[in-house]
Amino acid sequence: MAFPRVAVPGWIELAEMETGTERSTPVDRRLTGERPVEDVTPDGLLALHGAGYRAVVERLGPGRLLDVGCGEGFESLSMAAPDRPVVGVDYDQAAAARAAARFGSRGLTVARCDARRLCLGASSFRWACSSHLVEHFARPEEHVAEVARVLEDEGTAFFVTPNAPADFENPFHIRLFGPQDLGDLLVRFFAEVEVLGLDAGDRVKADFARRRERARKVLAFDVLDLRHRMPRSWYVGLYTRALPVAYRLMARQGTRGSSGITADDFFVTDRIDETTLALFAVARRPRR
């Protein structure tokens, strides 16, 4: 279904990304660990991301919505409705270009934009979604402040992020949060904050635990902990080259639906412990 496209106050339009047609030019879709990639990222992680977006949709009403860090856009469009146009922004040119190419004709408006300095006018959106993004910043308050700035006075933002004790080691995850940490950050910028858990049953948790244990065994070869002593850019470079090889060796049976894990296996809960997979926060009424 196609939805109407939307003009946004303060919008910095990138014409080369606004074609709305499928491209024949190859787009870089390497698995780096920075963002999920369809048919490449393990089912469990894709399903976790999808479940977060579904939980957002269940809490939405009419009004313009911003998806910050939209990646390739395949979840952004799921939040659109005839009375709810969606704008997606991502700092990565290749990801944003693919999102525009695949979904622009169906109403998704896309541009390249830094989540810490959004190319959007103040009070432009009724809703905002930041899914698995806030943990990527050394100064996450800059991102949260920008989300608050572009929301209307009665606007609502949703933040989904890994629960620190249950996360995998990932050099792109710079600042991890527990429920108290996340709530303390958000309340600085929003008048009302609720932090919930995004969790799953034993079968899914066992799948995550198996992959986490395999990753630990691989990292154990770094007996001198060199990855944490070298410049972070070196670690990121090594990680992005090694991850596709590791997934081919260890997770090839858990992609493209072969694991049977879907978004239906996840649920939002007010009970959070160290095994809870992710945090789901609802932040209302940005402070001015």
pLDDT tens, residue by residue, 28-81:
445 445 556 666 677 888 999 999 999 999 999 999 999 999 998 989 999 999
Give the model's pLDDT for residue 156: 98
The CA distance from 92 to 265, in Å, is 30
Per-residue pLDDT, 50 = 94
Q: Report the percent of the chain where pLDDT is more than 70.
A: 80
The mean pLDDT of 171-200, rounded to a whole number, is 96
With CA atoms as reference, report the closest residue to 34 among 255, 236, 277: 236
Residue 32's pLDDT is 47
Q: Is the pLDDT of residue 265 over 90?
A: yes
Nearest to 160 by CA among 276, 76, 281: 281
- Whether the predicted pLDDT of 23 surpasses 50: no
Give the lowest-confidence range in 25-34, 102-111, 178-187: 25-34
Specify the pLDDT at position 14: 40
Which of 262, 212, 238 minimizes the C-alpha distance to 32?
Answer: 238
* pLDDT over 50 (residue 13): no
**pLDDT recorded at residue 254:** 62
Please indicate whether residue 118 or residue 222 has the higher confidence score (pLDDT). Answer: 118
pLDDT at 159: 98
Comparing 33 with 208, the larger pLDDT belongs to 208
Q: What is the mean pLDDT of the chain?
A: 84
| d(C-alpha 228, C-alpha 226), whole Å | 5
CATH of 15-19+31-286, one of 3.40.50.150, 3.30.1180.20, 3.30.450.20, 3.40.50.2020: 3.40.50.150
- Strand 125-131 and strand 65-68: pairing? parallel
**CA separation for the pair 89, 113 (Å, rounded):** 5
pLDDT at position 232: 79
Give the DSSP letter of residue 185.
H
93-111 average pLDDT score: 91
For the stretch 126-140, pLDDT in tens is 999 999 999 999 999
Q: What is the pLDDT of residue 36?
A: 60
Please report which confidence band the pLDDT of residue 21 belongs to, taking 50, 70 and 90 as the band edges.
very low
Beta-strand pair 190-200/266-269: antiparallel
Lowest mean pLDDT across 34-38, 54-58, 160-164, 270-274: 34-38
Residue among 25, 27, 22 at smallest CA distance from 37: 27
> Is the backbone of residue 10 left (phi > 0), alpha (psi -120 to 50) or beta?
left
- What's the pLDDT score for residue 227? 83
Q: Residues 220-254: pLDDT tens digits?
A: 877 888 888 888 788 777 777 766 666 555 555 56
Is the per-residue pLDDT at 97 higher than 70? Answer: yes
Average pLDDT for 157-173: 90
